[in-house]
C-alpha cells in the first residue's frame, strides 16, 4: 500500500466534508497511522470525525495562534510515535472584513490574523515536526493558486501567495534534511470553509467551463485527496518546492472556450 507504516499528522479535519478528512480517510486505506489536531470549540467536531475515520484516532490540541502549542505538539508526538513521516497543513482563516471585495479597507489587525493563521503557521508547524523527521519526510500544504488576483479572495489571496512562497523557502532549508515541502493547489471545492467566502458559488460555477477536464465542486474531493496522499508517500521523492495543481486544468487556460463564429452570427443578426 502507498502509505504502509507511515505516521502522518493531519491538521484541518472538521467535518467529513473537509478536504483534510478525505486525505485522512485515504491515508488510512493506504496503511498509514494518523493523528489529527484540533482546538477550542471546534475540537468536538474533529473528535467526532476522528471516530468516524477509525475508532481510537487521537486528536491533539493545536491552536496555531498560540506559540506554546507547538513545542507541546512536538513532545506529544515524540511520546506517541517517536517520529513523523508526513504532515498535512490544512489551516486557513481570514476575518470577514478581509474578504469579499474589502481589500482597500481591511485593517492591519485583520490582515495580521489572516497571515499568522494561514501562512506563518506552516513554518511553525514545520519547525515543530522537524526534530521528528530525522529520516526525512513530506509536508503538504493545501493551497488555492494565487499567482493572479481573484475576485472576492482579497487578503486571503495575499496570504495564500505568501504560503506558496513559504513552501519554496521551506523546501530550500529542509531539502538537505530529506524533507520535501509542496503546495497542493485545488480548484474550488464545496466545504465548510468555502461557505465563508462571499461570492464563492459564482466562482465555482464558472470553473468547469474553463477547465479542460471539467470540474465539479461537490465531486472533485477525491482527486484532491488522492494527490495529497501521493505527495505524502515515497512515490515523489524528488519533488519539492512545487505547486501541484488539481483543478481540472483551469490554471493552464487563459479564458473559457469561445465560439469562433460568434462574431459572424452577431453581424448577420443570427441568434448566438
| pLDDT digits 0-9 by tens, 114-154 | 999 999 999 999 999 999 999 999 999 999 999 999 988 99
Phi/psi at 8 (nearest 5 deg)?
-120, 135
Is the pLDDT confidence value at 200 over 70? no
State the Cα–Cα distance between residues 51 and 210, nearest whole angstrom: 39
Span 15-46, pLDDT tens digits:
999 999 999 999 999 999 999 999 999 999 99
Confidence (pLDDT) at 220:
82
Question: Which CA distances in Å does 101 have to 95, 97, 109, 148?
Answer: 13, 9, 17, 15
Q: What are the residues whose beta carbons fall under 8 Å from the beta carbon of 7, sequence distance 6 or more? A: 32, 33, 34, 35, 81, 83, 84, 85, 86
Paired strand residues for 7:
33
The residue that leads in pLDDT, 8 or 207, is: 8
Cβ proximity of 209 and 269 under 8 Å:
no
Q: How confident is the model at residue 261 (pLDDT cuts 50, 70, 90)?
A: low
Span 56-91, pLDDT tens digits:
999 999 999 999 999 999 999 999 999 999 999 999
Is the pLDDT confidence value at 259 over 80? no
Is the pLDDT confidence value at 175 over 70? yes
Is the pLDDT confidence value at 194 over 90? no
Is the pLDDT confidence value at 269 over 80? no
Count Cβ atoms within 10 A of the Cβ of residue 45 and give its class: 0-12 exposed, 13-18 middle, 19 or more buried.
Answer: middle
Confidence (pLDDT) at 268:
63
Amino acid at each position: 500500500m502507498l502509505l504502509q507504516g507511515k505516521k502522518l499528522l493531519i491538521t484541518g479535519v472538521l467535518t467529513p466534508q473537509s478536504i483534510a478528512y478525505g486525505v485522512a480517510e485515504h491515508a488510512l486505506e493506504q496503511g498509514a497511522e494518523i493523528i489529527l489536531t484540533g482546538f477550542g470549540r471546534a475540537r468536538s467536531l474533529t473528535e467526532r470525525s476522528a471516530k468516524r475515520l477509525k475508532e481510537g484516532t487521537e486528536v491533539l490540541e493545536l491552536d496555531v495562534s498560540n506559540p506554546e502549542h507547538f513545542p507541546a505538539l512536538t513532545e506529544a508526538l515524540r511520546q506517541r510515535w517517536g517520529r513523523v513521516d508526513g504532515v498535512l497543513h490544512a489551516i486557513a482563516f481570514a476575518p470577514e472584513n478581509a474578504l469579499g471585495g474589502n481589500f482597500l479597507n481591511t485593517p492591519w489587525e485583520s490582515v495580521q490574523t489572516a497571515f499568522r493563521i494561514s501562512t506563518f503557521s506552516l513554518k511553525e508547524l514545520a519547525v515543530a515536526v522537524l526534530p521528528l523527521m530525522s529520516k526525512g519526510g513530506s509536508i503538504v500544504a493545501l493551497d488555492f493558486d494565487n499567482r493572479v488576483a481573484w475576485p472576492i479572495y482579497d487578503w486571503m489571496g495575499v496570504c495564500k501567495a505568501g504560503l506558496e512562497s513559504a513552501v519554496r523557502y521551506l523546501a530550500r532549508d529542509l531539502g538537505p534534511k530529506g524533507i520535501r515541502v509542496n503546495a497542493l493547489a485545488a480548484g474550488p471545492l464545496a466545504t465548510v470553509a468555502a461557505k465563508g467566502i462571499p461570492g464563492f458559488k459564482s466562482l465555482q460555477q464558472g470553473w468547469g467551463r474553463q477547465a479542460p477536464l471539467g470540474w465539479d465542486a461537490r465531486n472533485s474531493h477525491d482527486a484532491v485527496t488522492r494527490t495529497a496522499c501521493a505527495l505524502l508517500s515515497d512515490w515523489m521523492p524528488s519533488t519539492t518546492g512545487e505547486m501541484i495543481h488539481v483543478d481540472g486544468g483551469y490554471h493552464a487556460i487563459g479564458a473559457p472556450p469561445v465560439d469562433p463564429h460568434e462574431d459572424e452570427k452577431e453581424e448577420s443578426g443570427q441568434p448566438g
